[in-house]
A and B are shown apart, each in its own frame.
Chain A
Amino acid sequence: MPEDSPQPRVSALDTVAVATDDPGREQPWSDLGLKADEYARIREILGRRPTSSELAMYSVMWSEHCSYKSSKVHLKQFSEIPQETPAGKMLAGIGENAGVIDVGQGYAVTFKVESHNHPSYVEPHQGAATGIGGIVRDILAMGARPVAVMDPLRFGPLDAPDTHRVLPGIVEGVGHYGNCLGLPNIGGEAVFDETYLGNPLVNALCVGVLRHEDLHLAKASGAGNQVILYGARTGGDGIGGVSVLASETFDADGPAKRPSVQVGDPFMEKLLIECTLEIFAAGLVAGIQDLGGAGLSCATSELASAGDGGMHVELDRVPLRDSTLAPEEILMSESQERMMAVVEPGDVEAFMAICAKWDVEAVVVGEVTDTGRLEIDWHGERVVDVPPRSVAHDGPTYERPFARPAWQDALQADAAEALPRPTTGEELGETLLRLVASPNLCDKSWITDQYDRYVRGNTVLSQPSDSGMVRIDEESNLGVAVATDCNGRFAKLDPYTGARLALAESYRNVATGGAVPLAISDCLNFGSPEDPDVMWQFAEACRGLKDGCLELGIPVTGGNVSLYNQTGETAILPTPVVAVLGVIDDVTRRTPTGWRAVEGDDRGESVFLLGE
């Protein structure tokens, strides 16, 4: 190494022992996005300064994205809604990877919608693709076979140059990853508005089906059980941020450049799905978790926190794609297509055999302990020793100030009635043509034709229907339907009513297909929570959703919050996307969208208008 290396070379590993002996070391907590009081709290929890690996874990797990620190206080009210659907008790709810509901005949269904907005702006194809990949692993981790995906999308104006950069890549990414997994795309949205120009929204939904007895939860219990990491190797993906930690331990000419984008491998994910389902079927799993945002930090701490003891991990056993990765980086890597399973010692061999059959790499990286601590070693030296709950579940919570924006009254007063109206038949015709030609209303097949909607052979409804519907039992014709909706312009005018409208629209779309709506998942896309105006929109939308669900008698099974969606000072339209799932006893009785001729009757079908 060069003598005049500009970076101080901190060669020794930052172990728990070092942290105890050298309590005063300056740490880059602020660069990692932690606030001074949060850093102080970590020191308090540990009774010493954190090691750099611990700091990495806390910083990512306490981020807005993982800890829901700004949104938690508002989301809490969803648990006031009775935790049961019109078809019975919920089998798993908020807090699990995805909610699970009973749909009868011994079947359960799990579904969830999540955002992958920011990555999709940086690298549209890969960002959108890994969004699909991530939500599919969430569903898989519940013990379910993923059976369909949907993609609510929001873009800037269709004719804006950046939309031309972003949209084709996103559509191609959603399509390629989903097509390659063999999951029919049964619906979604494509909405265009100025406010999404620098901040497109890529929400991804997946539905999975399981038998009641197949339900799996993310927890590491039973001391002595083995912890297996399987799937893709770990690389330097998505750890742009923590490189500030790693760079402390590297020379200036070390591998400082870490990509902040992740590249997905849908083929690997398809193998992971089939392999995991075979492992479930063989009864070899005691607990399971997918690796998504925050990678191993999240999987180890959440599994241990939800379990009944602790966990010990030997981090140097993790198979790497890049041998130069430091322990902090391995803990934070967001490499795709990985899962972590907790397996009884006697089942490890059978587990490994199934992985080998599917060409999926699997390694025992640790075991469940009775210490109550999450302990991680790097080549025999302890780099992490923390109470897992403090990382995974007891992160900070903020009561962010919120207030009805000063401009809200003016906005509401500026009603559509003030707009000029077409007065002649000609003007009316022109207006109609403008409307049907608008990107928001026109035919979406230019997007949906890039998605496979037929694979698996169970798609009963898909575009251009109001909801997507799949058959889940070929004998009994039991099926489920899902719709996603949100009108951000309504939500901006009145976030409380806007959220209720999103719920009502989605609910209607499921019902008109012939299914009975049972439950919702939501993806709440908003601007910066540090802006009281935005925070008010968020609070109102949550309140609206809760009230709406109470009135309709359906629970929130889970969802996702995406904040900081803004370009400079301009926040996106408040966009609480609501996904409603319903059940239909007999899919042959579904109602497709559109007028149909009745065979042998030239009068056709009768048309009724319901409601006022």
Chain B
Amino acid sequence: MKIGVVTFPGSLDDVDAQRAVRIGGNEAVALWHGEHDLKGVDAVVLPGGFSYGDYLRCGAISRFSPVMAEVVEAAQRGMPVLGICNGFQILCESHLLPGALIRNDHRKFVCRDQRLRIERADTPWTSAYEAGQEITVVLKNGEGGYVADEATLDRLEGEGQVVARYLDHNPNGSLRDIAGVSNERGNVVGLMPHPEHAVEDLTGSGTDGLGFFTSLVEAVLA
């Protein structure tokens, strides 16, 4: 499959996401924020980083990039979209996902290996996992605290839109330990931790993150 990885000004983990896409057995297609062009890809990854320096609010300025108009439209049609870290923030700012991400409760950037539980294994990005499976991937963020009002949180839990949850230790003050959520349809997933840094034994925190990049094929074959 062809998976697009968008580069915004200030994207950092775009090369890593491309590598993970390749290691996952798919073709990585570089997409540029300034073009209204998804180059015929089957799915899109919005990578991590500090797009526009994270100035104003994380993702607030990138959301208005030309390419995002296309991503929003494609997502509404059902195209799989994965936002990692800064990409998650952009998806929330674009209103493709509910809630928002705020400064970590301890107010520091944190980089660590984080244990997660995959809560939902029926999205196109998580079908390689079992529901309830526990994995360890890299987490690194300064503004990763997931917040939404109580009603929204209850709805997310009720509808099964919580995709991943922090285990052992909540690293950023996210409400209900939420590490990732999806939209109602399940095709758009936002994740604060970085599965693309857990695809090789040599670098990062092991290979537990690979499933996010192999799921798509399985989803299609299934």
Binding site for B on A (CB under 8 A): 172, 175-176, 179-182, 265-268, 270-271, 357-359, 448-460, 471, 474, 587-588
Contacts and interface: CB of A to CB of B under 8 A. Distances in A.
A181 B111 CA distance: 15
Interface in B1-18: 9-10, 12-13, 15-16
Contact of A449 (B9, B110, B205): B110
B197 A182 contact: no
Contacts of B16: 455-457
Contact of A267 (B13, B55, B112, B194): B55
Nearest to A269: B53
Given A449-B111, A450-B108, A450-B110, A457 B197 contact: yes
Contact of B50 (A179, A451, A587, A588): A179
A452 B140 contact: yes
B200 interface: yes
B109 A176 contact: yes
The 9 closest A-B CB pairs, nearest first, are: A267-B53, A182-B12, A457-B16, A180-B50, A454-B197, A450-B109, A452-B140, A454-B138, A452-B111
Nearest to B12: A182
Contact of B109 (A179, A271, A357, A588): A179
Given A267-B50, A587-B202, A455 B109 contact: no
Contacts of A357: 34
A162 to B, nearest CB: 20
Category for how many chain B residues contact A: 20 to 34
B122 interface: no
Given A454-B203, A457-B196, A182 B13 contact: yes
A457 B53 contact: no
A247 B45 CA distance: 54
Nearest to A267: B53
Given A266-B53, A270-B12, A454-B205, 4 more contacts: A270-B9, A454-B204, A459-B204, A471-B203
A405 B205 CA distance: 51
B9 A267 contact: yes
Contacts of B142: 176, 179
Contacts of B197: 454, 457
Q: State the majority secondary structure of interface residues on A.
A: mixed
A267 B52 contact: yes
Nearest to B109: A450
Q: State the majority secondary structure of interface residues on B.
A: mixed
Nearest to B198: A454
Interface of B: 9-10, 12-13, 15-16, 19-20, 34, 49-50, 52-55, 108-112, 138, 140, 142, 194, 196-197, 200, 202-205
A228 B138 CA distance: 41
Contact of A457 (B34, B55, B108, B200): B200
A452 B140 CA distance: 7
B12 A455 contact: yes
Nearest to A357: B34
Nearest to A171: B108
A358 B50 CA distance: 15
B111 A454 contact: yes
A460 B13 contact: no
A157 B205 CA distance: 34
B115 to A, nearest CB: 16
A116 B46 CA distance: 35
Nearest to A445: B112
Contacts of A175: 109
A265 B202 contact: no
A182 B111 CA distance: 13
A588 B9 contact: no
Contacts of B19: 457, 474
Contacts of B112: 449
Contacts of B203: 454, 457-460, 471
A451 B111 CA distance: 6
A182 B11 CA distance: 8
A571 B116 CA distance: 50
Contacts of B204: 454, 457, 459
Nearest to A474: B19
30 contacts: A172-B109, A179-B140, A180-B54, A181-B12, A182-B13, A265-B53, A266-B50, A267-B52, A267-B53, A267-B55, A271-B9, A358-B9, A448-B111, A449-B110, A450-B110, A450-B111, A451-B109, A452-B140, A453-B111, A455-B13, A455-B140, A456-B12, A457-B13, A457-B16, A457-B197, A459-B203, A460-B203, A471-B203, A474-B19, A588-B202
A268 B55 CA distance: 11
